[in-house]
Structure 1
Amino acid sequence: MTENLRRQWHTSTKILANDLHSQLKLGSTSSQLLDCATSDAVTSLSNKWFEKVEQLYNEPHRAYHNMSHVQDLLASLDLVLETHIEPSVEPKDTAIATIAAFFHDVIYNPKSSTNERDSANLFIDFVSELVNVIKTVSRHEQNARIDGDMSENETVTQLSSPKDSQTSESDMVFRIEQCIIATATHISCANQARQSNNKLLAAFLDSDMSILGRDRDRYNEYARSIRKEYEFVERSVYCEKRAKILFSFLPALKVVETVHAIPIDETSKSSSEKMKGVEENQNRCIYATEKGRELWEYQARENLRNEIDMLCKGLIPGEVDR
């Protein structure tokens, strides 16, 4: 798992480095942009930050919000992006979603209400370090090509102070930060993204919520893991608060009667038949993308209703099955 995630991280970091290099307007050609992204300094920084991110996701209090969740999110993204964004997924879009996946839960304290903002801030710290490395690499590359009539000091002065505001103008940085912050309010942000035709953000948020629509055993393991992360909360209080959070999804669940009428064990119907009528009520759906609704909507409704029922009885899904 780790090596595949590391590969995805490095590929996306190189794309971000090229984007930032271009935004800094350092006068490099396209081939020089590639040289910068693949330089030893950028690779070293990428390795350093991957290890830092991995270490944070491996914190002992994480039972669900760990690197396995990142891997699952990226796998779900592959499913959604393949059909949701036409005609094809641009490498930059893939890099945006990948980096956002790594950073969206990188800061996770169950007692904090600012995890998403704190995670976004750490991402900006990463970008700042990457920009500094890019400036240094560009300065060295241009000094190596310096004309004999220009002194080295003159070149350093010319390249050492590009406008900081140019970094904030990076479309990639903005969209990655947007994805991270939006995970604070998944369903509302996902539907806003759908309405504004922000397909990548909608796909990212749907993928982060894909666990809700997995098979019952997988969902129960997820529910048990969430309880473990909040084991400091007294059980009855946890059940009450957790049920209230899940119940807040219920407006999204109140769709056409044909959906509610389907028995849990009715397996003879196809996914499209089970979801008949949902397309007419997209604003009331959990998932904003057509692919997300096709893959996970029906099962997510059943899983949420089941957990709410159990929580009202003081039971935790997954615990009673162990």
Structure 2
Amino acid sequence: MKETYFLCLKPYTSDILLMESCWNEIIASYSDQRRSYHTLIHLQHFSDQLNLCKDQLSDYPTAYLAMIYHDIVYFTMDGTNEEKSAIVAAGHLNRLHYPADLISLCSEMILATKTHAGNSSSDINYFIDADMSILGADKGSYAKYAAGIRKEYGDSIYFDRGRKQILQHFLNMERIFKTDLFFDKYEHQARKNIQGEIDNLS
């Protein structure tokens, strides 16, 4: 992932030390010991899914950078982790001389992961579908994902209720996956996985 991150930035900066510094901050954030799912493993999975739709993306580098930064801030008390992640991304990318209009697109992609709603931008739809692809994983991988989410929230007595609301929100969508590529690949299994998790929540 580091190599691709650098390749996305090299057209705009030759400051290798700054790129290294930004990358090290990214690694430190995703290596936080409180994380069980939103880790570098999640980033690698997301990266693999973006590669599935690379040819459909009009701006793969910006989507890749948004992927790298989308969960750089995760543990917040006020539910603004997406907004704060976008701020960190913009801060890094400004210093790295990434174009302002593309920084805005990167921020828009990160913010889209808050609701995973359909968007008029096909790039954003592919992006959020790639992020949610874990929902349509095989049963064992989905179970590991669900366990990781639970672990990140510790022993909160509100976890089951909140988790049910989130999962039901996905089931209530006409389409969980907005693009045909991801819909055909994951929609059916995702709905089975989600309903199974809901059934197991208290």
What TM-score results when the alignment is normalised by the length of structure 2? 0.94
- Counterparts in 2 of 1:299 and 1:309: CA distance versus 1, 3 Å: same
Q: 1:101 aligns with which of 56, 62, 67?
A: 67
How do residues 37-76 of structure 1 correspond to structure 2 at under 5 angstroms?
Answer: 37=13, 39=14, 42-76=15-49
Contact preservation (8 Å) 1:64, 1:226? yes
Q: Unaligned regions of 5+ residues in structure 2, if any?
A: none
Q: Which position in structure 1 is the counterpart of 2:110?
A: 180
Between the aligned partners of 1:125 and 1:77, the Cα distance in structure 2 is 23
C-alpha separation between the residues in 2 aligned to 1:286 and 1:104?
19
Listed one character per residue, the Cα deviations across residues 74-111 of structure 1 (whole Å, up to 9, x for unaligned) are 101111233xx2xxx55xx1111110011100001053
Deviation at 1:182, TM superposition (A): 0.9
- Distance, in Å, in 1 between the alignment partners of 2:153 and 2:42 is 17
**1:242 correspondence with 2:132:** no
The corresponding residue for 1:25 is none
Name the aligned partner's letter for residue 173 of structure 1: I
- Written as runs of structure 1 = structure 2, the 5 A alignment for 1:294-309 is 294-309=184-199
Aligned to 1:251: 172
Question: SS of 1:56's equivalent?
Answer: helix
Q: Deviations over 1:140-183 (max 9, x none)?
A: xxxxxxxxxxxxxxxxxxxxxxxxxxx6xx32111111101111
Aligned to 2:126: 203
How far did 1:238 drift? Answer: 1.5
- Cα deviation, 1:282-317, whole Å, max 9, x if unaligned, reads xx1000100010111010000011000011xx3xxx
Query: Contact conserved, 2:36 with 2:148, CA < 8 A, in 1?
Result: yes
Q: CA separation in 2, counterparts of 1:203 and 1:81?
A: 9
Amino acid at match of 2:168: F
Q: Distance in 2 between matches of 1:308 and 1:108?
A: 23
CA RMSD, 1 decimal:
1.6
AA aligned to 2:5 is: W
Q: CA deviation at 1:67?
A: 0.9
Aligned to 1:233: 156
Correspondences of 1:278-289 after superposition (within 5 Å): 284-289=174-179
Equivalenced residue count is 202
The answer to whether the 8 A contact 2:9-2:96 is kept is no
> Runs in 1 of length 4+ with deviation above 4 angstroms?
none
Unaligned runs of 5+ in 1: 18-36, 135-166, 253-283, 315-322
Q: Structure 2 CA distance, aligned partners of 1:240 and 1:177? A: 30
Question: 1:238 & 1:48 partners in 2: Cα distance?
Answer: 36
Query: What is the aligned-residue identity percentage?
Result: 31
1:14 aligns with 2:10: yes
* Per-residue deviation, 1:246: 0.8
Alpha-carbon shift at residue 118 of structure 1 (Å): 0.5
Counterpart residue identity of residue 109, structure 1: F
Letter in 1 for 2:177: Y
Secondary structure of the residue that 1:55 maps to in structure 2?
A: helix
CA 1:229–1:110 in structure 2 vs 1: closer, same or farther (change >3 Å)? farther
Task: Give the alignment partner of residue 101 of structure 2, picking from 160, 171, 176.
Answer: 171
TM-score by length of 1: 0.60
